Amino acid sequence: MNTHELERLLMQQPVSLLHRLARGRISRHFRSGKRKLVDLLLQASAENRPGLESDLQALIDQRAERPQPAPVENTRPPQARSRQDVPAPSRPHRTDDHGHHEPPVSLHEWLSGIGVPPPQPFVPDAWQVEALEKLAETDVVVSVPTGSGKTYVAIEATARAMRENRTVIYTSPLKALSNTKFTEFSRVFGPGQVGILTGDRREHSQAPLLIMTTEILRNLLYDAAGGEIDVRLDTLGLVIMDESQYLADPERGVVWEETLIFCPSQARLLLLSASIGNPQDIADWLTAIRPTPCSLIRHTKRSVPLRAGYLHPNEKLTPLFRTAGIPYGQPHLLHPEAKRLFMEYEEETGPSRSR
Amino acid sequence: MPPSIHPVDLVATLRQRNLTPAIIFLTSRRACDEAMQSFERSQVTLPKAQQEQIARVLTQVTEQFPSIAEHPLIETVQRIGVAAHHAGHLPSWKIAVEELMRTGSLDAVFATTTLAAGVDFPARTVVVTQSSIRKARDFTDLSASEIQQLAGRAGRRGKDLVGFAVITPSPYIDLTVLTKGLTGQPEAIHSQFVITYPMVLNLLKAHPREQIQSILAKSFAQFQLNQRTAVLETKLDSLRAEMEPFGPRVCSDWITQWQVFEQARKRKKPRSPFARQESPDVAARLHFLTPGRVVGVTRGRGIILRQYRSKGQHAPMVTLLREGGSLNECPASIVTQVFDRTFDCEETSSYPWCTPQTLEELTHHLTELPPRLPILPILAHQHEETPIDSSIIHTLGDFACPTCPSRQACQRDFPRASRVRQEIQRHIKSIQALQTSLWHRFQERIDVLEKFGYLNANAQLTADGEWARLIRIDHSLLITELIRAEAFGAIDPPLLAAIMASIAHDDDRPGSFPRGSTGLVTLLFQVRKLAESLTPHEAPPMLRADVAALTERWVSDQTLTWIGLARLTTMAEGDMFRLFARTIEFLSQLKTLKATHPSLAESADHAIAAMRRGVLEELP
């Protein structure tokens, strides 16, 4: 909708609607006439035109839903009438909407589909297959949303390396995570095949798969560089670094960098990371400093779709956004009901909100 | 309306909408614990089947970690199917909760946002109650990555068709932060590379100093610095293009030339038109050339009638009544002698500048004057121009600018050209700084290590450096300095563990703790003094006496049980566990010094053995 169209549409609306629209946008809007009000609205929302448009649409829709005692003038014409004999004021933009002028999703719709998917044979996702294929040739950086199945890639890559009699090192940032993975991998590969090395624990340190905190691996690499060569580093075939977004941790990030810089060149690297903004940078960096190139596997789609909701303190639940899913890149597409409830909440708890 | 939904109602709503199991992220550990307490009063009980399932899972976990059996929350968890999971809990309890979630036996878990990364279990629903997080005593808005990390726990692969992220307001919420975080892109990450003392020692052990720069160049930090360099370089290129029309003119470096010329011109004082014309002698005499004064000129004598400046050149002039009665307008320089004799002179404003009567009298006096008159000694004030001025006058003579054919063009372009040139130089400097900053920081560390004697002047490891490089933990400089000061000479294992604990502990949560022994207090005082003296080179640790005392108790009193220890303090079990685990980590670093410090290594070994009991032994 361009400014001209928007202005025309605003002029067609009753003043009361414009005043409602002006709430929170313009101070002392009650003093201005219709013409002035429209101008002020356009001015005030110069920065956030889509916000104004969606609010306007929401108000028009609300009006349309309410039974009108007066002769219908500004509401949508009933479906029965043909387009020719009624100059429908709100018609033009409804035909060329871009998705956010659809009526907001209902709670029922939003809640639908809860349930357990029927058991299916496990089929790896395309990105998982691609990551494993790439790993045969290059180092790999994986940046995918939480819960996408990074562990599958780690396990499969480990199994392949172990078949070739190569040692695998798996690092995680937290001792707790190392322990969880130790239990998990022991289940998969058998207890004798998995070892763990953390600051205060050492078990099966000669196993083909070693789980350790990143600090331990860094120390091993320093020892190797300092001459106390650990023989096992020669057979090292794969280094998996879980949660590698820790690279940006203010205190411990440096350990990840040291480890990656000194990682033996014959070992493949598999970096598993949650979604980050610049995974390509990491892949480029690794390509620049290591003899093997580094490929990036990145996707942003979650394997289980996400919906966002808003739960009011009075236990009323509504969808958070107008769409059922998350409207990526459009944070302003709030569900009118959620917006109304939250404004109500803010008004009531207003002064105490300052922390 | 309540400021936020009651936890019991929250869980009830989620259950009713079939949105369980859920992870509910709360602001603090305390909020989690209070939420759990609020359930104790509620009447909710789970159906028998689910209670039994929880019991079954718990029994399984208890086999591995017997300490869970005594956990006070077991009963509540079993009755209501809700648990809390935060850093204040023992790892074994967290493992139990995670296991319960994984098997789907729980309906909800209260967790802290701080631990979002450590929460490694999914749920159908994630409830977010805040938009900011406490980081280093201050609240910061959650970043998009963090919000997505939270929301990422929603929706279990293979168990859910959809996942839900539910926002419920609390007094600490800003909805826009959350909606932007949910719909936005995660932030780019930035290198946090720092150069630590162990890094310097270990690098110099394996590589000569000349290679270090190329190793540092391999860091992600340098990679990102290079990206910034690339941006600067494109900017530099465009600036250079902008500079093109300002290439060499009559002189090759006309900008500098013009700049100096301008400076010289500005610094030169505007010369007084009077001062320019007259010699110091004349200037000194001028004050005495008042009407009525008898002066000597080249030929004969005369009386001054008036003193004035010539119109055009402002030269000092006098009107002189000469012997023979003639009136002459002549330059003041004509006066050669000023005599000590004046006559009254009644001035007028027009020719002959005095009343006819005076003129007559003066003419008469002039003839009557004795042949020899006393001469006024007049000291010429040698007004020297300041050397800088003369130097400028001198240099100005060197400038071709005033007569140069491109003078106009230079004058016109100079402001822009000099600005662009400045920008170019600034960019070149920043690029250089970006390229060498890591190396400079490394060099600084080398200097410190050399000062303390871990490195020699050639940046090679000394005997001390050889063992110090094995200490690769935080506060390594303090620890190695303590060892060199022989603070740990023949130290008891409990004391050693206590000191290490106070160095390792970096949390400032207050609480009540047992008291330490006198030996510990004295030693800790010395450690503090040393840490303070190292402040310029390494940030000092907190060195809390209370956590040290707690550790000392645990190590020295072998009959003390974990529960008994927990009763001595208000510190959360999880924090205690982390403190001890980290202390063991620090001690095991000391153990690596077996070759050079056998007694210390032995003491550390004993301390570790003494610490590993009860909960610490059973746990991973």
| Predicted confidence (pLDDT) per residue in B498-517, tens digit | 999 999 998 888 888 888 88
Residues B472, A215: C-beta atoms closer than 8 Å: yes
| A126-298: CATH architecture | 3-Layer(aba) Sandwich (3.40)
Q: For position A69, what pLDDT does the model report?
A: 47
Q: How many residues does chain B have?
A: 620
Q: How many CA atoms lie within 13 A of B159 on its CB side?
A: 17
Numbered ranges of CATH 1.10.3380.30 in chain B: 470-618
pLDDT tens figures, B43-89: 778 888 888 999 999 998 888 888 888 788 888 888 889 999 888 88
Residue B331 has pLDDT above 70, yes or no: yes
> Among the listed ranges A79-93, A321-335, B97-111, which one has the minimum average pLDDT value?
A79-93
Residues B171, A349: C-beta atoms closer than 8 Å: yes
Give the model's confidence band at B384: pLDDT under 50 very low, under 70 low, under 90 confident, else very high.
low
Mutate to test the interface with A, among B131, B179, B590 (most CBs of A within 10 A): B179
Residue A178 has pLDDT above 50, yes or no: yes
Q: What's the mean pLDDT in A123-135?
A: 92
Query: How far is it, in rounded angstroms, from Cα B29 to Cα B263?
Result: 68
Pairing state between β A139-143 and A194-198:
unpaired
Per the DSSP assignment, residues forming a β-bridge with B119 are: none
Q: Is residue B150 within 8 Å of residue B170, measured between CB atoms? A: no
Query: Which string of b and e fits A151-180 if b means at least 16 CB within 10 Å?
Result: ebbbbbbbebbbeeebbbbbbbbbbbbbbb
**Chain B interface includes A312 (CB < 8 A):** yes
Considering only CB atoms, which chain B residues are within 8 Å of A147?
122, 152-153, 155-157
Give the model's confidence band at A136: pLDDT under 50 very low, under 70 low, under 90 confident, else very high.
very high
Q: What is the CATH number of domain B470-618?
A: 1.10.3380.30
Q: What's the mean pLDDT in A54-78?
A: 63
Residue that is written with structure tokens 């340098």 in the block: B222
A9: closest CA of chain B, how far (Å)? 28
- Tell me the one-letter amino acid at B173: I
Q: What is the CATH number of domain B289-368?
A: 2.30.30
> Among the listed ranges A41-45, A134-138, A212-216, which one has the minimum average pLDDT value?
A41-45
Mean pLDDT of chain A: 82
With a CB-CB cutoff of 8 Å, which residues 288-317 of chain B face chain A? Answer: none
Nearest C-alpha in A relative to B140 = A355
More confident residue, B48 or A92: B48
Numbered ranges of CATH 3.40.50.300 in chain B: 7-183
Mutate to test the interface with A, among B202, B442, B506 (most CBs of A within 10 A): B202
Residues B163, A305: C-beta atoms closer than 8 Å: yes
Query: How far is it, in rounded angstroms, from Cα B421 to Cα B414?
Result: 10
Sign of the alpha-carbon dihedral angle for A177, B150, B190, B184: positive
Nearest C-alpha in B relative to A180 = B95
**Chain A interface includes B386 (CB < 8 A):** no
Considering only CB atoms, which chain B residues are within 8 Å of A321?
179, 183
Q: Give the one of B180, B192, B206 whose C-beta lies nearest to A225's C-beta.
A: B206
Residues B127, A311: C-beta atoms closer than 8 Å: yes
B7-183 CATH fold: Rossmann fold (3.40.50)
More confident residue, B548 or B389: B548
Q: Look at residues A301, A172, A351 and name the one whose alpha carbon lies nearest to residue A244.
A: A172
Residue that is written with structure tokens 């040393």 in the block: B530
Q: Is residue B90 within 8 Å of residue B577, measured between CB atoms? A: yes
Those residues whose C-beta lies under 8 Å from the C-beta of residue A110, and which sit 6 or more positions away, are A307, A309, A319, A324
Q: For position A353, what pLDDT does the model report?
A: 43
